[in-house]
Amino acid sequence: MYGWTGKILRVDLTTGQCHREQIPVDLLHAYLGGRGLGVRLMRDRFRLDPMDPEMPLIFAVGPLCGTSSPTAARMACVSRSPLTGTIYDCSAGGRFAWRMKGCGLDAIFITGKSKEPVYLSVYGDLASLCPAGELWGKGIKETVLLLQGKGSVAAVGPAGENGVLFANIMMGEGNSIGRGGLGAVMGGKGLKAITVNGTAPVAISAPERFNEARNDVMRLFRASPVIFGELGIAEYGTPALVDLMAQRRMAPTNNFQSTYFADSGNYSGPAIRKEFHAKKDGCYGCPIQCKKSTPDHEPLPEYETVNHFGALNGISDLHSIVRANSLCNELGMDTISAAATLSAFGEERGRFPAVEEVPGLLYDIAFRRAEGLLLSLGSRKFAEQRHRPELSMTVKSLELPAYDPRGAYGMALAYATSNRGGCHLRAYPISHEILRKPVPTDRFSFSGKARIIKIAEDVNAAVDSLVACKFAFFGATLEEYGELLSAVTGVEYGPEVLKTIGERIYLTERFYNCENGFSLADDQLPGRFFTEPGTSGDGIDVPPIDRERFEEELQKYYRIRGLNEDGTFADPSFLERQP
């Protein structure tokens, strides 16, 4: 078999047992790897509390990992989110995936709960659980430094140990498994870290075909202004978007009270580069190197982070924003949710946090004390407790990122339908609505968006299962990645087959959520977007979203997906018919 190792490492933290098993080949063919494989392996664990010891925490790589497929040094982490209650996956880069595949593994499947803190060490064929009492309580940098001799590291910080609902799992190279709080799941299991160290090579079925496909991808990357253009992400990273979103009047500001922040230029891509001598950084072997870091490898913040610690909290000072980003990384928690929760807290008390307060509040959240005890549950629980539920700018309890939906109606629909909550990574209509790729659409219209979002969700589910990076698709398409996959595995995968696989994965996730009680009532946006306008100006008018048109388009989406009017499954046996 090419592309897959066919092996899963099962780890039971309660008994301390680790053993390898074979994965049925038809599952690999039908779900590829990464997100798809992880979601498939979750199928028999409905209605389990995310913090239940038997809740699995799954790390899965894909068939492209270990090859020189561009942007493929990635993996997915899958479980159920303690923040959203949905099934949850997150894609992460770095070197971990590559080294995990080098241990001969497609997946690591962790259940149980350890009495004492442990870390999992996988060194080639050997897997063992080691005492981590001395690591417990330590920040991420220190933990990674102490473990780095053992290979690539994934670890939780104090936030994960203490059960912050938006705690991350941080990768040793600075990447993160972010958003839905899988760090709390890992910390709750008493698992401080995982190290992987393997170098087994990955063979390719058709090397010449692979090289041709790879050349096609690289040519498309080079031709893409979004990737390698003068103002593209290779040059400035995602903060390249700061000026663009300001011009479009869709930069969420003061907890989404407005959509324009006059000082956003302080943290634009060029401003960050100048101020921090930013250099390119990125995942293993990736040609784009979109990450930016300082000369001593301190990661610099992404677009969502600068906007949310900046505009969303009314903070102008770049250094304070960068420090907040570093502190979240060090404590191991999600920057978007942390900043958005602080912003809701700010609106509730009538004063957004001053720069001097932010570090203390972040510590309080990570250690779950004082104000932080409530804030660590995320903005939705915070706002409900304060009897101001309207202040939580979330979908399915997940804090929205930095694209105001009043400035991009596709994004409004994408937030609502996302089956892991309000994120920009299930479908990214910004691509066509703002970046005009592959074709421009009218950002102030819902027309045609239901179908576009459905397709994008399916495509991304496939991409997350290869696993490749979504940024690759600002240049390449499933056509070229299908070629890469076919060449690697010797199994034919055209773009339509990949979309079908993506749809299978997406519906499996939705089915899981529906079984846990999710429905139309959860596919909603915060009320503010329908009642308050954004910030108009510079010839751009940003009115509130028309709720009727939104709901109409949502119904159209359900029809395209084959769902009932209330968003549930018409066919309760859907899952049984899948491989």
Binding site for a second copy (CB under 8 A): 137-139, 141-142, 145, 275-277, 294-298, 317, 319-320, 323, 355-356, 358-360, 363-364, 367
Shortest CB 315 distance to a second copy, Å: 9
Place of tokens 């099934």: 87
Q: Is 133 exposed, middle or buried (0-12, 13-18, 19+ CB in 10 A)?
A: exposed
* Nearest residue (CB) to a second copy, 144 versus 165: 144
Residues found in the chain: 579
Per-residue H/E/C for 84-101 = CCCEEEEEECCCHHHHHH
* Nearest residue (CB) to a second copy, 137 versus 287: 137
Shortest CB 160 distance to a second copy, Å: 16
* Nearest residue (CB) to a second copy, 270 versus 359: 359
| CA 323 – CA 454 distance, rounded (Å) | 38
* Nearest residue (CB) to a second copy, 369 versus 451: 369
Shortest CB 241 distance to a second copy, Å: 23
* Nearest residue (CB) to a second copy, 137 versus 225: 137
Phi/psi region, residue 332 (left: phi>0; alpha: psi -120 to 50; beta: rest), is left
Shortest CB 297 distance to a second copy, Å: 5
CA quadruple 391, 395, 399, 402: dihedral, nearest 10: -100
Q: Please, what sign has the CA dihedral across residues 216, 503, 303, 541?
A: positive
Shortest CB 457 distance to a second copy, Å: 39
* Nearest residue (CB) to a second copy, 375 versus 395: 375
DSSP string, 121-132: EEETTEEEEEE-
Shortest CB 299 distance to a second copy, Å: 12
Question: Which of 20, 23, 16, 19 lies closest to 38, judged by CA?
Answer: 23
Give SS3 for 66: coil
* Nearest residue (CB) to a second copy, 33 versus 353: 353
Shortest CB 246 distance to a second copy, Å: 21
| CA 321 – CA 313 distance, rounded (Å) | 10
| CA 328 – CA 309 distance, rounded (Å) | 11
